[in-house]
Amino acid sequence: MSVTVVVGGFYGDEGKGKIISYLAAADDPAIVARGGAGPNAGHTIRRGDRTYKIRMLPSGFLNPRSQVLVGPGVVVNPAVLLREMEDFGAGGRAFVDYNCGVIEQSHLDADSGSHLGEKIGSTGSGTGPANAARAMRTLRLARDVESLAGVTVDVPGRIHQAIRSGGSVLIEGTQGTFLSLWHGTYPYVTSKDVTASAICADVGVGPTVVDSVVLVLKSFVTRVGTGPLAGELPDEETARRGWSERGTVTGRPRRAAPMDYDLVRRAVMLNGATQIALTKLDVVFPECSGATSYGDLPGAAVSFVEEMERNAGIPVSLIGTGPEESAVIDRRGGP
Ligand code: IMP
Ligand code: MG
């Protein structure tokens, strides 16, 4: 039995979805609960020949034995949520909290204007304006929305019930540390704090209950939208290295930079991280592709992992070696 929190260490898009999906399959948690801002977050999961792009459901939804819950700190778009439940067969075990805020058309409209849309480079999902309305105490909640009547529950209550019965709980964050409204590159940030403590608060879990905090770091740094990115590479160099990516929600090209240990050390500190999940090692070291054992990594990749551990001061316990959910080196039980 354990409570694990998984958060992003950079600017989002670190590969949290794939890591959470792997942990949901490997550890069989009773509950996967999503915190974070809202449907501005996109996660991509690949299993077999299927690719799933999700914006509202927790990324652990592929495990049919796990309940997937969205905490009251998250704003939901009912149309997106209900469509994903239907498309991905999560009906009957996917629920949102009574107190989740609800995104409406006016919030979507307000998210595309010159300030949020152009200056901040918002995803246009209505998340920021809905969170602003929540702070103003004018936002409607899930408990008041008819289309959500069959899928609303007490999420903190269910999580604590599962913990009391000895089950494991996986708490998933969205966005990344430096998109935090408090700790990020303000004003080029999302509309909430998204570090581990905030993600726990989003789902109603206090700090004493948490056993481990997994910080997800990609093997290079990317950022979509505007805002500073130290060491940013020109587009041609990003393409030459094979690091070009596009956003899951917006389809925008992601800007890229090499590994940045100043960001890593600060993210470990801000999240109280206990371990690192290092993703896309195969993109930087193609010989690693699909490896599931640490002993199969080439020397240069091992040196990269060791340099990460030296800088971070915590172990790299999971390593992503390909887009497939199962392409993971799991070192949690030892080397
Ligand atoms: P908003 O959260 O949609 O208002 O966008 C604010 C900033 O955060 C923009 O630069 C977005 O590109 C970025 N952002 C928000 N959510 C994510 C995410 O899940 N991944 C990556 N960037 C994000
Ligand atoms: Mg994403």
Average pLDDT over residues 49-73: 95
Report CA(266)–ligand 1 centroid distance (Å): 20
Q: What are phi and psi of 330, to 5 degrees?
A: -105, 105
Q: Are residues 61 and 54 in contact, defined by beta-carbon separation less than 8 angstroms?
A: yes
Centre of ligand 1 from the C-alpha of residue 66, in Å: 28
pLDDT band at residue 327, thresholds of 50, 70 and 90?
A: very high
Q: Distance between alpha carbon 279 and the CA centroid of its chain, in Å? A: 13
91: left (phi over 0), alpha (psi -120 to 50) or beta: beta
Q: What would be the CATH architecture of the domain defined by 3-330?
A: 3-Layer(aba) Sandwich (3.40)
Q: In the predicted model, what is the mean pLDDT of residues 235-260? A: 93
Residue nearest (by alpha carbon) to ligand 1 atom 12 = 225
Opening angle at CA 215, ends 213 and 219, nearest 5:
160
Q: 253 in ligand 1 pocket by Cβ < 6 Å? A: no
| pLDDT surpasses 90 at 1 | no
Each residue of 122-166: pLDDT tens digit?
999 999 999 999 999 999 999 999 999 999 999 999 999 999 999
How far is 19 from 176, CA to CA, in rounded Å?
A: 14
Tokens of residue 35, six digits? 């915190």
The single residue listed with the structure tokens 């700190």 is: 73
* Terminal-residue alpha carbon distance, the chain: 22
Instruction: Reply yes or no on whether the pLDDT at 297 is more than 90.
Output: yes
Catalytic residue numbers? 13, 43
3-state secondary structure string, 122-190?
CCCCCHHHHHHHHHCCCCCEHHHCHHHHHHEECHHHHHHHHHHCCCCEEEECCCCHHHCCCCCCCCCCC
* Mean per-residue pLDDT, 98-107: 98
| pLDDT above 80: residue 335 | no
Phi, psi of 127 (to 5 degrees): -65, -50
Residues 72-96 pLDDT 10s: 999 999 999 999 999 999 999 999 9
What pLDDT was estimated at residue 248?
81
| Closest residue CA from atom 4 of ligand 1 | 122
Predicted local distance difference test score (pLDDT) of residue 63? 95
The residue whose CB lies within 8 Å of the most ligand 1 atoms, and thus the one to mutate among 224, 246, 250, is 224
Residue 110, ligand 1, Cβ within 6 A:
no
Q: Which amino acid is at 229?
A: L
**pLDDT mean over 102-119:** 95
**CA-to-CA distance for 71 and 66, rounded, in angstroms?**
15
pLDDT confidence of residue 10: 98
Q: Regarding beta strands 255-257 and 169-172, do their DSSP bridges make them parallel or antiparallel, or are they unpaired?
A: unpaired
Report helix, strand or coil for 280: coil
User: For position 321, what pLDDT does the model report?
Assistant: 98
Structure tokens at 273: 């991280």
Query: Do 203 and 71 meet the contact criterion of CB atoms below 8 Å apart?
Result: yes
Residue of 190, 229, 254 best suited for mutating to test ligand 1, as the one with most atoms within 8 Å of CB: 190
Q: What is the chain's mean pLDDT, rounded?
A: 96
Residues 234 and 15: their CA atoms lie apart, in Å, by 22
Q: How far apart are alpha carbons 137 and 287 in whole angstroms?
A: 53
d(CA 159, CA 3): 10
Looking up tokens 């551990």 gives: 309
Q: Is 201 helix (H, G, I), strand (E, B) or coil?
A: helix
pTM for this entry = 0.97
Contact residues for 109 (Cβ-Cβ < 8 A; gap 6+): none
| Structure confidence at residue 31 (pLDDT) | 98
Mean pLDDT of 238-256: 92
- How many residues are listed for the chain in this entry? 335
- The answer to whether the beta carbons of residues 133 and 139 sit under 8 Å apart is yes
**What is the CA(153)–ligand 2 centre distance, in A?**
26
250 — pLDDT class (breaks 50, 70, 90): confident
Beta partners for 329?
319
